[in-house]
């Protein structure tokens, strides 16, 4: 059995000794960044204790905006309110909170000159739980729309009351869809099921919220955390609190983040590092062929991270680079690496030099004319994050010191980029966005396969295996199990030996279509047959599953056969070796004009005197 | 699991996190003798104890008003 909480434990210890020395500002900084990184109960408790101890000594954390937040709750919300107090402080909101007695939603809003009016809220949080809806497990299909409309109507009416009677902005928690249903999978097919009605209710609330209601998407939060930990039936039955102990901090922080966004406190700029942040490796040392981006497990993870960063940019977050690099090497991947998703144009400021990162970040803020508190700095190097955090405490730092595959989650966990509204102008209609929509359209429109292939406007680059593609080639032979004719696994060294053979042919295929660049997704090796020197034997022919069904194999074979003719072969021999998952390529050679060898199953010959194979749907890039 | 020094330290940490740093508690203390140890604090104590010690306490633990010593025994008896 383990006793958990080591890193939080050290944050607690450090914060406590700072508090003991009366250094509240530093203790708060520490507690705050730990809470913003992950709002666990411990992080919440540490921050709460720093605030309580500080308050006694007259320390109040600096807030940039004031808010008066009233909480109208249908359940016991004391825990939530305490957490909200801490979360608001962590997001630089000087908030005064008022909790109405629970279950008194309409009453509180309707009474004249009551405690709520006296409190004069700027914001009102309406926090119900799914239990309030009282929807049946299964309603008549005809009754469902009316039930949902009535349910939505209650909250919409409350929104009106908040606006009309108190002139305040509404924050509303939406409803968690129950994960348990006696109807099982059938529940999603029935408009009258509780699950369907609550989904529809959330949709209607989203649609009708308009600009004066801020919705907290509790269904998404619960799904992210896992509904089993988000809700604790024990607490519901025993204390009328629906949320589990781990959920409170997250719910409070996310709610406060939306409030912060409404107060204009959201971050506007993301500053990223380059080496080991946007790609794997160090471009200045490993060279452009040595970095990982676009291909392979790590390369794909970095590409996914770039996609996420780019999507933030398209959504209106200003992107900038702060890198310790020579400018030239820093820019090279953007100019010359095909795996890159971000381009130099995506960045408003691009700093690559050898100054401390804090100086780079300061210069970015000055160049853009924005405050340091609107900047989020993300770096894989914990030391760089610490340097920036120490020198510029107003900057939010995100430590990407997790495996590449976890990077998007880590970046997404910051609540600093929440939006209170999204104007049309905020969103750059990026070409890829439009492009994706068109791809779907195309597939629907094309009536024959040939038409579909043509419409993809595929381009390929077939190149000899070289230093930069050896690792990817070896990886493809190891990992490809479906479109793989011989299932031969080759090490890097074995491939080097085939490359070195005078008549050996080793080719990679990169494929791009009008929507996406898939990178190296095909491989073909041809060697001289042991039996006779006029026969070129196909040692390896494989395609990554992403590009199966697009005639890429024909294109690869066209190149291999042409190269074989150049080397003086008169016959090309293909072999199919059966494996657990490659049965569907058993007759590939037969379909492409190879002739089955008599008496040998799975062996096919192609007469090179007929000329190379012809690829009709893929063009070669020069 | 045994009630060693590490166990007692973690136990005290949980109480301090929930009820305030620097709080003094002994095994005889209970909600009647400790300021701030109300039903809300009890919920948090149970959750933190469960998280830190990796145990699941019975539903009744949420509402009972037992002493610190009794809670320790409860955690120990539910640990694997």
CATH number at residue A605: 3.40.630.30
Confidence at A11, pLDDT banded by 50, 70, 90 = confident
Q: Give the model's pLDDT for residue A74.
A: 92
Whether A65 and chain B come into contact, CB under 8 Å, resolves to: no
Q: Computed over its alpha carbons, how large is the radius of gyration of chain A? A: 30
Q: Give the model's pLDDT for residue A444.
A: 59
Closest CA to B75 of B42, B59, B53: B53
| B39/A239 Cβ within 8 A | yes
| Digit-coded pLDDT (tens) for A147-205 | 999 999 999 999 999 998 899 999 999 999 999 999 999 999 999 999 999 999 999 99
Confirm whether A7 is domain-assigned.
Answer: no
Confidence at A6, pLDDT banded by 50, 70, 90 = very low
| A78/B40 Cβ within 8 A | yes
Q: Give the model's pLDDT for residue A441.
A: 54
- How does strand A603-607 pair with strand A595-596? antiparallel
| Interface test with chain A among B51, B55, B76, by most A beta carbons within 10 Å | B51
Over residues B6-12, the mean pLDDT reads 91
Over residues A258-268, the mean pLDDT reads 92
Burial classification of residue A479, based on how many CB atoms lie within 10 Å of its CB (0-12 exposed, 13-18 middle, 19 or more buried): middle
User: What phi, psi does A397 have (nearest 5°)?
Assistant: -110, 140
Q: Are residues A220 and A355 in the same domain?
A: no
Out of A4, A49, A79, closest to residue B51 by CB: A4
Q: Give the model's pLDDT for residue A426.
A: 54
| Interface test with chain B among A41, A229, A248, by most B beta carbons within 10 Å | A41
Average pLDDT, chain B: 90
Tell me the CA distances in angstroms from A481 to A276, A494, A590, one per residue in order: 30, 19, 20
- In terms of phi and psi (left: phi > 0; alpha: psi -120 to 50; beta: otherwise), the region of A58 is left
Assembly ipTM: 0.91
- B44 vs A contacts (CB less than 8 Å): 41, 45, 79, 245
How do the domains of chain B map onto residue ranges? 5-78
What's the gap in Å between the CA of B36 and the closest CA on chain A? 13
| B51/A41 Cβ within 8 A | yes
Q: Which of A262, A282, A307 is the last residue of a domain?
A: A262
Q: Which residue has the tokens 């930069």?
A: A468
| A238/B59 Cβ within 8 A | yes
Q: Give the model's pLDDT for residue B64.
A: 79
Indicate the helix (H) or strand (E) that contains A234.
Answer: helix A233-239
Q: Are residues A222 and A93 in the same domain?
A: yes
| Digit-coded pLDDT (tens) for B22-35 | 888 999 999 999 98
Tally of domains within chain A: 4
Q: Give the model's pLDDT for residue A5.
A: 41
Q: Which of A233, A262, A291 is the last residue of a domain?
A: A262
| A53/B21 Cβ within 8 A | yes
- A235 vs B contacts (CB less than 8 Å): 43, 62
Q: Are residues A389 and A498 in the same domain?
A: no
pLDDT > 90? residue A350: yes
Confirm whether A201 is domain-assigned.
Answer: yes
Over residues A468-497, the mean pLDDT reads 88
pLDDT > 90? residue A9: no
Q: Which residue has the tokens 């633990």?
A: B61
For the entire predicted model, the pTM comes to: 0.77
pLDDT > 60? residue A503: yes
Q: Which domain holds residue A383?
A: 269-428
| B17/A46 Cβ within 8 A | yes
Whether A3 and chain B come into contact, CB under 8 Å, resolves to: yes
Over residues A532-540, the mean pLDDT reads 94
Confirm whether A13 is domain-assigned.
Answer: no
Average pLDDT, chain A: 90
What's the gap in Å between the CA of B17 and the closest CA on chain A? 5
Over residues A47-64, the mean pLDDT reads 90
Out of B43, B44, B52, closest to residue A5 by CB: B52
Confidence at A514, pLDDT banded by 50, 70, 90 = confident
| Digit-coded pLDDT (tens) for A366-387 | 888 888 999 999 999 999 999 9
Geometric angle at alpha carbon A439, from A435 and A441, rounded to 5°: 115
Tell me the percentage of chain A whose pLDDT exceeds 70: 95
Q: Give the model's pLDDT for residue A613.
A: 94
Residues 6+ apart with CB under 8 A from A567: A503, A505, A536
Report the greatest alpha carbon distance in chain A: 101
Closest CA to A38 of A220, A303, A224, A179: A224
Cβ atoms within 10 Å of B77's Cβ, excluding its own:
11
Indicate the helix (H) or strand (E) that contains A570.
Answer: none
Contact A90, A260 (CB under 8 A): no
| Digit-coded pLDDT (tens) for A41-52 | 999 999 999 999
Handedness of CA A247, A251, A252, A254 (dihedral sign): positive
What's the gap in Å between the CA of B14 and the closest CA on chain A? 9
Burial A165-185 (b: 16+ CB within 10 A, else e): bbebbbbbbbbbbbeebebee
Chain B's closest residue to A246, CA to CA, is B47
- In terms of phi and psi (left: phi > 0; alpha: psi -120 to 50; beta: otherwise), the region of B73 is alpha
pLDDT > 50? residue A1: no
pLDDT > 70? residue A244: yes
pLDDT > 70? residue A429: no
Alpha-carbon distance A85 to A88, whole Å?
5
Confidence at A439, pLDDT banded by 50, 70, 90 = low
Confidence at A446, pLDDT banded by 50, 70, 90 = low
Confidence at A428, pLDDT banded by 50, 70, 90 = very low
Over residues A550-569, the mean pLDDT reads 94
Three-state secondary structure readout of A318-365: EEEEEEECCHHHHHHHHHHCCCCCCCHHHCCEEEEECCCHHHHHHHHH
Interface of A with B in 202-261 (CB under 8 A): 234-235, 237-239, 241, 244-246
Higher-pLDDT residue of A432 and A166 is: A166
- In terms of phi and psi (left: phi > 0; alpha: psi -120 to 50; beta: otherwise), the region of A396 is beta
Q: Which residue has the tokens 């380059």?
A: A274
Alpha-carbon distance A11 to A121, whole Å?
35
Over residues A529-541, the mean pLDDT reads 93
Whether A19 and chain B come into contact, CB under 8 Å, resolves to: yes
Confirm whether A386 is domain-assigned.
Answer: yes
Indicate the helix (H) or strand (E) that contains B10.
Answer: helix B5-19
| Interface test with chain B among A10, A38, A45, A102, by most B beta carbons within 10 Å | A45
Q: Are residues A472 and A382 in the same domain?
A: no
The neighbouring-strand residues paired with A156 are none
Question: DSSP string spanning B39-80?
Answer: HHHHHHHHHHHHHHHT----GGGGT----HHHHHHHHHHH--
Closest CA to A506 of A465, A536, A562: A465
- B39 vs A contacts (CB less than 8 Å): 239
Whether A290 and chain B come into contact, CB under 8 Å, resolves to: no
Cβ atoms within 10 Å of A35's Cβ, excluding its own:
28
Alpha-carbon distance A514 to B65, whole Å?
68
Confirm whether A400 is domain-assigned.
Answer: yes
Out of A49, A237, A238, closest to residue B17 by CB: A49
Contact A172, A205 (CB under 8 A): yes
Residues 6+ apart with CB under 8 A from A344: A331, A334, A335, A350
| A79/B40 Cβ within 8 A | yes
User: What phi, psi does A63 have (nearest 5°)?
Assistant: -115, 145
Q: Are residues A50 and A177 in the same domain?
A: no
Q: Are residues A141 and A235 in the same domain?
A: yes
Alpha-carbon distance A110 to B48, whole Å?
39
- A27 vs B contacts (CB less than 8 Å): none
Q: Are residues A450 and A563 in the same domain?
A: yes
Tell me the CA distances in angstroms from A279 to A286, A304, A333, A352, A407, one per residue in order: 11, 10, 9, 15, 11
Confirm whether A40 is domain-assigned.
Answer: yes
- 3-state class (DSSP) for residue A65: strand
Domain B5-78 indexed as CATH 1.10.1200.10: yes
| B17/A3 Cβ within 8 A | no
Q: A-B interface: how many C-beta pairs under 8 angstroms?
A: 63
Contact A245, B51 (CB under 8 A): yes
Contact A256, A87 (CB under 8 A): yes
Summarize chain A as % helix, strand, coil (round to 5): 50, 20, 35
Confidence at A434, pLDDT banded by 50, 70, 90 = very low
Q: Give the model's pLDDT for residue A436.
A: 44
Alpha-carbon distance A504 to A525, whole Å?
7
Q: Are residues A238 and A185 in the same domain?
A: yes
What's the gap in Å between the CA of B47 and the closest CA on chain A? 6
Closest CA to A538 of A597, A606, A442: A606
Over residues A112-129, the mean pLDDT reads 92
Whether A52 and chain B come into contact, CB under 8 Å, resolves to: yes
Q: Are residues A348 and A454 in the same domain?
A: no
The count of residues in chain A is: 622
Q: Give the model's pLDDT for residue A34.
A: 92
Confirm whether A459 is domain-assigned.
Answer: yes
Confirm whether A433 is domain-assigned.
Answer: no
Q: How many CA atoms lie within 13 A of A123 on its CB side?
A: 26
CATH number at residue A340: 3.40.50.1000
Tell me the percentage of chain A whose pLDDT exceeds 90: 73
């Amino acid at each position: 059995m383990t006793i958990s909480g080591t890193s939080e434990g050290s944050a607690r210890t450090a914060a406590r000794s700072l508090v003991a020395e009366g250094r509240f500002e530093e203790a708060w900084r520490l507690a705050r960044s730990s809470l913003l990184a992950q709002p666990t109960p411990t992080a919440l408790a540490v921050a709460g204790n720093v605030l309580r101890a500080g308050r006694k000594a007259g320390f109040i954390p600096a807030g940039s905006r004031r808010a008066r937040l009233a909480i109208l709750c249908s359940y016991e919300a004391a825990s939530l309110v305490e957490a909200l107090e801490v979360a608001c402080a962590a997001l630089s909101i000087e908030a005064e909170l008022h909790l109405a007695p629970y279950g008194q939603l309409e009453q509180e809003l309707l009474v004249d000159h009551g405690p709520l009016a006296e409190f004069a809220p700027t914001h009102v949080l309406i926090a119900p739980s799914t239990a309030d809806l009282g929807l049946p497990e299964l309603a008549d299909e005809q009754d469902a729309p009316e039930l949902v409309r009535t349910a939505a109507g209650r909250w919409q009416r409350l929104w009106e009351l908040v606006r009309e009677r108190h002139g305040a902005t509404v924050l509303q928690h939406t409803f968690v869809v129950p994960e348990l249903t006696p109807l099982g999978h059938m529940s999603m097919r029935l408009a009258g099921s509780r699950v369907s009605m609550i989904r529809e209710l959330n949709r209607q609330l989203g649609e009708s919220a308009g600009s004066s209601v801020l919705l907290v998407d509790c269904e998404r939060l619960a799904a992210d955390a896992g509904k089993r930990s988000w809700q604790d039936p024990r607490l519901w039955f025993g204390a009328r609190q629906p949320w589990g102990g781990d959920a409170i901090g997250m719910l409070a922080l996310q709610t406060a983040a939306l409030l912060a966004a409404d107060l204009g406190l959201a971050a506007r700029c993301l500053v990223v590092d380059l080496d080991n942040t946007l790609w794997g490796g160090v471009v200045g040392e490993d060279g452009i062929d040595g970095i990982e981006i676009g291909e392979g497990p790590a390369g794909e993870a970095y590409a996914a991270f770039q996609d996420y960063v780019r999507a933030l940019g398209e959504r209106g977050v200003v992107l900038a680079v702060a890198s310790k690099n020579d400018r030239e090497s820093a820019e090279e991947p953007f100019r010359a690496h095909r795996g890159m998703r971000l381009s130099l144009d995506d960045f408003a400021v691009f700093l690559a030099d050898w100054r401390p990162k804090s100086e780079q970040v300061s210069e970015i803020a000055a160049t853009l004319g924005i405050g340091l508190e609107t900047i989020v700095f993300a770096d894989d190097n914990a030391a760089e994050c610490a340097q920036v955090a120490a020198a510029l405490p107003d900057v939010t730092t995100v430590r990407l010191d997790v495996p590449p595959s976890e990077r998007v989650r880590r970046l997404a966990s910051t609540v600093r980029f929440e939006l209170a509204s999204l104007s049309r102008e905020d969103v750059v209609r990026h070409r890829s966005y439009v492009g994706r929509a068109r791809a779907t359209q195309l597939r629907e429109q094309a009536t024959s396969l040939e038409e579909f292939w043509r419409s993809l406007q595929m381009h390929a680059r077939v190149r000899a295996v070289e230093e930069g593609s050896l690792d990817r080639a070896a990886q493809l032979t190891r990992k490809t199990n479906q479109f793989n004719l011989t299932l031969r696994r080759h090490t890097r060294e074995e491939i080097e030996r085939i490359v070195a053979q005078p008549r050996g042919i080793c080719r990679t295929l990169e494929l791009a279509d009008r929507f996406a660049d898939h990178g190296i997704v095909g491989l073909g090796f041809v060697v001289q047959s042991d039996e006779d020197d006029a026969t070129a034997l196909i040692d390896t022919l494989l395609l990554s599953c992403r590009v199966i069904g697009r005639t890429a194999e024909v294109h690869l074979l066209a190149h291999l056969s042409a190269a074989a003719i150049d080397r003086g072969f008169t016959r090309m021999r293909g072999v199919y070796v059966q494996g657990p998952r490659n049965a569907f390529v058993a007759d590939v050679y037969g379909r492409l004009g190879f002739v089955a060898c008599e008496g040998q199953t799975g062996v096919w010959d192609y007469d090179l005197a007929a000329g190379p194979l012809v690829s009709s749907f893929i063009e070669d890039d020069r | 699991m045994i009630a060693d020094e590490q166990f007692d330290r973690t136990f005290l940490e949980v109480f301090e996190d929930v009820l305030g740093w620097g709080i003094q508690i002994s095994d005889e203390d209970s909600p009647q003798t400790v300021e701030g140890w109300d039903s809300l604090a009890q919920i948090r104590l149970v959750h933190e104890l469960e998280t830190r010690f990796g145990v699941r306490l019975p539903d009744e633990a949420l509402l009972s008003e037992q002493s610190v010593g009794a809670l320790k025994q409860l955690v120990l008896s539910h640990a694997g």
